[in-house]
Amino acid sequence: MTVYGASRKVGRSLRELEQAWHFRYEDLGKNSMSDTYGFNVLLPRLGEVAPRLFEQQSLFAELNPDDTVLDWFGDVTSAVNEENRDSQLLDSDILGQFANYRNLTRNGISQVSIGTRRYEASGRLILTDNLGEKAQSLVIENPESKRTRLVGVLDKVAFLDRVLWIQLLDGSRVKVLWSPEDVEPIRLFWGSKVMMGGTLQYRPNGTPQVFVAEAIEAGTDVSTVWDKLPEAKLLPKAGSTRRQLRPDEINPLGELRGVLDGKFTDEEFEKMVQEFCHP
């Protein structure tokens, strides 16, 4: 997410990013007093294994060379925990992965506590069922991706491997992830008007996250119909849909408890259901 703007792997990834996950760990065993298990994990700093990331500040202005990939994981975890719908680190795929944490307790784990360089003094990362529930709520809200085309000018300054920006004719700027293996077509159109076809992915707040491009061609006057971003269809915020009772109102469900005892006629049952569903 931090580099590509999308959690789903598209094409080949930066070799340096794969090296950033090479780690060694020390098993600290079980603490009988607290009934916990501990591990120490040694990961390389990103500035050491992926220096190219820090040569493109126009793409990755907030990257810190002293970070590890676990610090990046912490950033995503914090965004989910804070239910930050504006975060550039959240898309439907990564939210779906975090939603799996709803099953931690079912799998015999009450919580996972992680400390990193940045997430230690300011507070460790805590993974619980509740974190998974928050992610699931954001999954429900996240607008669906749209197949579309975009017309604009490619920014040749901000380019790394397959990540770049396109400046649309309406003035907006969108991060682009080039899907095909061959990146030569991108270089052919640098600084010129183009039309790109692909899938536009959104953040939970409905703003564009990244455009996963699959094709590119020279832009024409006819293609100006695609020079504006298509709007996302925002979904209502997830939450309880249970109707709140008025202070003087009797809970109709309390009355429905006797239905299975055969004490109500069909007409009485239908009346109570109607009253509950249509207050």
Domain ranges across the chain: 15-141, 146-226, 242-279
pLDDT in tens, 112-133: 888 888 888 668 888 889 999 9
Distances (CA, A) of 153 to 4, 161, 179, 188: 19, 18, 18, 12
Report the SS3 class of residue 228: coil
In the block, residue with structure tokens 């061609």:
217
Angle at 238 between CA 232 and CA 242, to 5 degrees: 140
Torsion region of 171: left, alpha or beta (phi above 0 gives left; psi -120 to 50 gives alpha): left
pLDDT of residue 279: 44
pLDDT value of residue 197: 92
Instruction: Residue 98: name the closest of 74, 69, 122 by CA.
Output: 74
Give every residue of the chain whose pLDDT is below 70, as ranges. Answer: 1-16, 25, 56-61, 121-122, 156-161, 221-229, 233-279
CATH T-level assignment (fold) for domain 146-226: OB fold (Dihydrolipoamide Acetyltransferase, E2P) (2.40.50)
